[in-house]
Every structure is written in structure tokens, then in C-alpha cells.
Chains A and B, each alone.
Chain A
Amino acid sequence: MHDFSPLAALFGGSLIGLAAAIFLFAHGRICGISGLVGGLLRRNTDVPWVRAAFLGGLLAGGLVLGFAAPALFDTSWTPSVTLAIPAGLLVGFGTQLGNGCTSGHGVCGISRLSVRSLVATGVFMVAGFVTVFLARHTFGGGP
């Protein structure tokens, strides 16, 4: 099952913060995954190669972790493909409309004390709480 793991979370989180800081130091931009991906899906985006290199590193990291530490992915629950598809559509659409996700708003924006990011993070957290509540405790089953 998924147990409380504050130290691993704190350590992993600090690596995320460090990676985002390196990106800011090197390229002067917010390290927001949905923004970096969304930009690559537009015509005439700025710094496409910087975006592609970061996302390439992210995917390479996932590939290496998949072999070196498969337990990081092995879980008691993963969404079915039929659930992952609407989830992906909503995440893709919502992050573009709201200009950010957990990394851009949740980490970088809150650190910058951006009002927009503080509010966005509050809204997507509450929406997540409500969604899981409805899925688990109202309709039964679910995640």
C-alpha cells in the first residue's frame, strides 16, 4: 500500500526544486512541464530546442528509473486506459487554459509568491480533493 513517506517526499521535492532552479539559472524561464510541452505543440514557439532538451531529459530520466528503480512506478493502483484517456484530455485542456500545472503554478509560482499561481494551486487542489471524494466515497470503487 501507499504509506506516509515524508523524508523521501522532502528529498525528492528538493531535487525537483533544484532542477527547476537550474532551468531558471540557465534559461531564465519558469520550469513548468505543461507550459514546456504546450509550447512544443504550437507553431512558432520560442526556444523549441531548450524545451525539447528538457523534456528529452525528463523522458530519459523516466526510462532509466524504469530499469534502475521499477518500484518507484509499481503501485497498488494505476488508472485503467479507459480512465487515463479522459484524465489526460482534462489535464491537457485545463493546464493550457489555466497556464500551468503542479510545477509551473504549484512549485515555481508559489515560490515567486505569484497571486495567480497561489489561487490556481488552491483551485486545482480543491478540484482534485472533490474529484477523489466523489469517485471513492460517493460512487464507490474508483481510484
Chain B
Amino acid sequence: MKSLALSFGAGGLFAIGLGVSGMTKPAKVTGFLDLFGAWDASLAFVMVGAIAIYFVAHRLILRRSRPLFDTRFHLPTRKDLDARLLIGAAIFGVGWGLGGYCPGPGLVSAATGALPALAFVISMAVGMKLEHALSRRLAREREARGGLAGDTLGSPR
């Protein structure tokens, strides 16, 4: 129960951070992405603040042998750049620029009952399910072909 309470608290703090920093204002996000217009650089400072804290905290925390409520750390180890990563990031960027919401601020704003944010979050869940279905299908097809290489889109995560 303690572990879930801490997780819940971290989520709440994350939401407050998003709100205070301006990430829950789509106008501010698109203002940051409008490099060739009246550019508002504020969101770069959100990244700087978040990375400054996490950069140090991450290194201190990983000195421990294990996290508080788990037997080991579960961190990504991949270093390769594949088509999935590049195409996925590009598609995400287009959606981010269109709506001014990335997943966190979308959820936080949806909790206020704002209709565009609710529509965003519901369609985001649909988009996620679509990707899961497509990945499963590509993986099956690859397996059916004998697992031959060449189809990077179907590679396992």
C-alpha cells in the first residue's frame, strides 16, 4: 500500500509540475514550437529544470542496490537506432504540434473536464491500441516468414 501511495504522490507532483511550468497550456506549447513566429522559449526551461534534477537524482539513486519497492531496477538498455524509434518520434511530434498536448498534459487537462483534452486522451488511447495491434500483426507475419530480418518495423521492443 505504501508503494502505491508513493506512486500516487509522484503522479500528483508531476501534474503540479506540468501545470506550474505551463505545459498544460496548448497555446504555450505551440508558442514554443513556433520557432519561426513569436517564439516563446519558456518550455526549454521546463526541460532544463527537469533534466537538472533528474540528471543528478538518477545517478544518486542508481548507487543503491535496488529501488525501495522492487527487487531490481528496470531501465532500458538498447542503444540501436531503428525505424520504429525515428518514425514513431516523428508521428508523435506532428500530433504534439497539431494539438499542443503531449500525453502528460493531455491527461492532466482532461481531468479538469475540458472537452478538447478529453477528446485528445480518448483518441490517444485508441492510437495506442492501434499501434499495439499493428505491432502484434507485423510480429506474427515476420514469424510466419521464418523470422527473416529486413522488416525493422516489426522488430520486438
Chain A: residues with CB nearer than 8 A to chain B?
Answer: 1-31, 33-34, 37-38, 41-42, 46, 49-50, 53-66, 69-70, 72-73, 75-81, 83-99, 101-103, 105-112, 114-116, 119-121, 123-133, 135-137, 143
Contact = CB atoms under 8 A, between A and B. Distances in A.
A69 to B, nearest CB: 7
Given A13-B47, A60-B111, A22 B9 contact: yes
Given A31-B10, A73-B109, A88-B126, A17 B51 contact: yes
B97 A16 contact: no
A53 B26 CA distance: 26
Main secondary structure of the interface of A (DSSP, over half): helix
Contact of B3 (A20, A27, A109): A27
Contacts of B147: none
Nearest to A143: B30
B39 to A, nearest CB: 9
Given A27-B67, A34-B128, A105-B89, 10 more contacts: A9-B45, A26-B7, A33-B104, A41-B129, A62-B109, A77-B100, A88-B123, A95-B88, A132-B35, A136-B34
A113 B75 CA distance: 13
B88 A13 contact: no
A75 B114 CA distance: 12
Interface of B: 3-28, 30-31, 33-37, 40-55, 57-58, 61, 64, 66-70, 72-76, 78-81, 84-104, 106-117, 119-132, 135, 157
A79 B118 CA distance: 11
Contacts of B10: 19-20, 22-23, 26, 31, 54, 57
